[in-house]
Copies of this chain bind each other. A is one copy, B any other.
Amino acid sequence: MTDPAIDRLWFEPASVVVIGASANPQKWGYQYARSLLKGHGPRRIYLVNPSGSPILGQPVYGNCGSLPEAPDLAVLCVPGAQIEASIDEALDRGIKRFVCITAGFAETGEVGAERQRQMVDRVRRAGARLVGPNCLGLFDADGSLECAGFWDITAGEVGLVSQSGTVLLELSARLAAMGKGLSRAISIGNQADVTAYEALESYSSSASSRVIAAYIEDFRDGRQVLSVMQALNEQGKRCILIAPADTDSVKRAASSHTGSLVASDALVDAACKDAGILRVRSISEALSAIDGILSPAPTMGRRVAVIADGGGSALLGAAACADARLEVPEFSPALRVSLAKHAHPGAGLLNPIDAVGVLCLDDMLPMIGTVLESSEVDAVLLTGALNNVKAVIDPDEAGRVAATIVDHAVRMGKGLAIASMYPDDPAMAEFRARGVTVHSGAVEAAEALALSAPMTALRPVPSLNAPCESEPHDHGYFAARGLFTRYGAVFPEAVEIADESAAIDAARQLGYPVVLKAMGLLHKSDAGGVAIGLPDEEALRLALRDMQDRLSPPSFSIEQMVPADGVELILGSVRTPRFGPTITVGAGGIYTEVLRDVVTALAPVDESYAESMLQSLKIAPLLNGYRGKPPLARKAMARLIADFSQMLLRNPRIAEAEINPVRLNAERALALDARILFGDG
């Protein structure tokens, strides 16, 4: 990672000024002054207000010009109407870092957006940077910086970046309720200047941050966001992306309000999976992941042993794991023999373990230990009615048993998740005292395991750096064929013709049967502009006259007919505003829209990645030689996908491109149609 744009003086400023400080506790200007003054140590805190009267026992400066120095950081709390004048004054004083709490900019509509653009221009021209506007401030535990107003902060090991103030408040409050706190937090508000990726980049130097959660609606440069998160993951700081689902209601709200462009779920999910980044859709999921990651006994994998003291709890525990996409592998015979030494007769030992006949956790300790020692699982989920038989429990003994289990899990590097219906049980109190969350149910415990299991990055976030072609931007079918052909696509022979006699000549030359396509239509097939398998001159004539009557196309294409063997695939691309060019592969022809069996990835992709895309389709068995048929030319298809994706990279003005269908048989991938659309580039 290069040097972050947001340097350490944002978090460890020697001096901070609150511009628009107030004496009224109900005002932001009071609350930010208060939070900055709280335990500020040697840091110099200046307050600016035109009235000049003391606030919170501190002297107040009438304007930035009268400050004795140019503070490292300025917090803007002035009313909206005064923002431009205040910024000019601060820039004149030499201030380079602004946190703009003041709202009323792009989030209120086009007028506010224009004011915001002008404000940022002003700041950037002066070589300064601005966080916000419409944000809640900054917090840094290592730098003892609390610029947080009404926002209550507990210090800890969780880093936060949030585009939304209320989401930041919810994460902070619910983490505190879980006994966890913040290492650093950056409220990026409207991202007018400093955007999510720059805020994230700053975390590479946040020593206290073990896990970082970012709430982002509008990714701006989505690839940079993912690259930074991937780099932080590699640094051992686990990153969680909280992004809302792309439902109609979410898109409606985002676009009506902030003009945010919500990226498609499928794309974000695929790109995050590739990059090894956990993407969640809710704060509850993010908290569950954080809980698991910060556990003293975090899981290193997805193979779970479920241990319960009752059959129903064992079954529901196993079902909860499966619903969370964890594995509950059947134990080996050897492990079962070891377990049986400690089990009552009739116990279920296949995994899940149903430890019948036990009355308390103590009775299960040898079995739990045996599982923790084995290499067959990565984590243990304890669930059931453990320790409900209060009459037989010695509280000290119960606590000791819990401590033994935690120590053993930590020693073996195994994950530990506990679900208990009796949170007040002394063993549960001891688990909590050791930092192991006691979940209310198996579903919640399994979710924490699943969301906190480490992910493997499948590839670096692909870069868009490549020399660009200077192409003529012709939307036509033959131009698209030409461009695609230069990037490896093979089409059946085709001749563009304008009238019937040329058509007859062309068909005779190509040999019957032929295909006739009407030109000048974006969706030829839907419009009835494609006739396939025309067996003879008569049929060709009829089809051509029919299309001429209905569609009056500028010209036609006459093409060789190819046999309908193998399968039809679709290969397409859309350039997205936030993630650039994407590539989509799926079941083609009529099945494209009906079955929606497609996978999407950030372009470009290489051949081996392209093969993995093909293998992840539901129709993959048909490609691999289904029911005794020969396997299809998967490698040729993968090469076509990879080359097509290079074309997108080198032609940034392609807004959409599609080959649908590609007919893939055992020998080759043949492109049967082509469509391209250019945009602003």
Is A318 in contact with B174, judged by CB distance below 8 angstroms?
A: no
**Which of A170, A314, A345, A423 counts the most chain B CB atoms within 10 A?**
A170
Asked whether any CB of chain B lies closer than 8 Å to the CB of A308, the reply is yes
Give chain B residues whose Cβ lies under 8 Å from the Cβ of A391: 25-26, 31, 150
Q: How many copies does the complex hold?
A: 2
Contact string against B for A residues 232-254, beta-carbon threshold 8 Å, 1 for contact and 0 otherwise? 00000000001011011110111
Contact string against B for A residues 243-283, beta-carbon threshold 8 Å, 1 for contact and 0 otherwise? 01101111011101110000000000000000000000111
Is A249 in contact with B525, judged by CB distance below 8 angstroms?
A: no
Give chain B residues whose Cβ lies under 8 Å from the Cβ of A167: 310, 312-313, 316
Is A319 in contact with B174, judged by CB distance below 8 angstroms?
A: no
| A595 with B597, Cβ < 8 A, contacts A252-B330, A441-B174 known | yes
Give residues 103-156 of A contacting B (CB, 8 Å): 103, 107-109, 112, 150
- Closest B residue to A315 by beta carbon equals B244
Give residues 20-68 of A contacting B (CB, 8 Å): 25-26, 31
Asked whether any CB of chain B lies closer than 8 Å to the CB of A619, the reply is yes
Give chain B residues whose Cβ lies under 8 Å from the Cβ of A25: 391
- Closest B residue to A628 by beta carbon equals B528
Asked whether any CB of chain B lies closer than 8 Å to the CB of A572, the reply is no
User: In whole angstroms, what is the CA distance A166 to B165 when docked?
Assistant: 43
Contact string against B for A residues 277-310, beta-carbon threshold 8 Å, 1 for contact and 0 otherwise? 0000111110100000000000000000010111
Is A312 in contact with B166, judged by CB distance below 8 angstroms?
A: yes
**Which of A166, A351, A619 counts the most chain B CB atoms within 10 A?**
A166
Asked whether any CB of chain B lies closer than 8 Å to the CB of A384, the reply is yes
Q: Which of A3-11, A321-329, A394-402 contacts B (4 or more CB under 8 A)?
A: A321-329
- Closest B residue to A327 by beta carbon equals B249
Asked whether any CB of chain B lies closer than 8 Å to the CB of A101, the reply is no
User: In whole angstroms, what is the CA distance A583 to B42 when docked?
Assistant: 77
Asked whether any CB of chain B lies closer than 8 Å to the CB of A81, the reply is no
Asked whether any CB of chain B lies closer than 8 Å to the CB of A571, the reply is no
**How close is A570's CB to chain B, nearest CB, in angstroms?**
15
Indicate which residue in B249, B319, B390 contacts A321 across the interface (CB closer than 8 Å): B249
- Closest B residue to A170 by beta carbon equals B421
Is B164 in contact with A313, judged by CB distance below 8 angstroms?
A: yes
Give chain B residues whose Cβ lies under 8 Å from the Cβ of A112: 346
What total of chain A residues lie within 8 Å of the partner, measured CB to CB?
A: 98
Give residues 154-173 of A contacting B (CB, 8 Å): 162-167, 169-170, 173
User: In whole angstroms, what is the CA distance A108 to B347 when docked?
Assistant: 8
User: In whole angstroms, what is the CA distance A119 to B619 when docked?
Assistant: 54
Asked whether any CB of chain B lies closer than 8 Å to the CB of A622, the reply is yes
Asked whether any CB of chain B lies closer than 8 Å to the CB of A590, the reply is yes
User: In whole angstroms, what is the CA distance A17 to B165 when docked?
Assistant: 63
Give chain B residues whose Cβ lies under 8 Å from the Cβ of A493: none
Indicate which residue in B244, B308, B321 contacts A318 across the interface (CB closer than 8 Å): B244
Is A165 in contact with B389, judged by CB distance below 8 angstroms?
A: no
User: In whole angstroms, what is the CA distance A285 to B244 when docked?
Assistant: 22
Give chain B residues whose Cβ lies under 8 Å from the Cβ of A109: 346
**How close is A167's CB to chain B, nearest CB, in angstroms?**
4
Give chain B residues whose Cβ lies under 8 Å from the Cβ of A526: 627-628
**How close is A423's CB to chain B, nearest CB, in angstroms?**
8
Asked whether any CB of chain B lies closer than 8 Å to the CB of A385, the reply is yes
User: In whole angstroms, what is the CA distance A491 to B594 when docked?
Assistant: 28
User: In whole angstroms, what is the CA distance A108 to B348 when docked?
Assistant: 10
**How close is A563's CB to chain B, nearest CB, in angstroms?**
14
Asked whether any CB of chain B lies closer than 8 Å to the CB of A311, the reply is yes
Give chain B residues whose Cβ lies under 8 Å from the Cβ of A618: 594-596
**How close is A103's CB to chain B, nearest CB, in angstroms?**
8
Asked whether any CB of chain B lies closer than 8 Å to the CB of A532, the reply is no
Contacts A253-B348, A256-B350 given; 20 further ones with Cβ under 8 A?
A: A26-B391, A107-B356, A108-B346, A150-B389, A164-B311, A164-B312, A166-B385, A167-B316, A170-B385, A173-B421, A242-B316, A247-B318, A250-B319, A281-B316, A282-B319, A282-B443, A283-B316, A287-B441, A526-B627, A594-B618
Provide 26 A-B residue pairs closer than 8 Å at the C-beta atoms, listed in order of the A residue: A107-B311, A108-B345, A150-B391, A165-B385, A166-B311, A166-B385, A170-B385, A217-B311, A217-B312, A244-B315, A244-B316, A247-B318, A247-B322, A248-B328, A249-B318, A252-B350, A252-B351, A253-B318, A256-B348, A282-B442, A283-B316, A284-B441, A285-B443, A526-B627, A526-B628, A595-B619
A-to-B contact residues, CB < 8 Å: 25-26, 31, 103, 107-109, 112, 150, 162-167, 169-170, 173-174, 177, 215, 217, 242, 244-245, 247-250, 252-254, 256-258, 281-285, 287, 306, 308-316, 318-323, 328, 330, 345-346, 348, 350-352, 354, 356, 384-385, 388-392, 421-423, 440-444, 525-526, 528, 590, 593-597, 618-619, 621-622, 626-628
Q: Which 8 A-B residue pairs are closest in the complex by CB-CB distance?
A: A164-B312, A166-B310, A249-B328, A167-B312, A247-B322, A108-B346, A173-B421, A249-B318
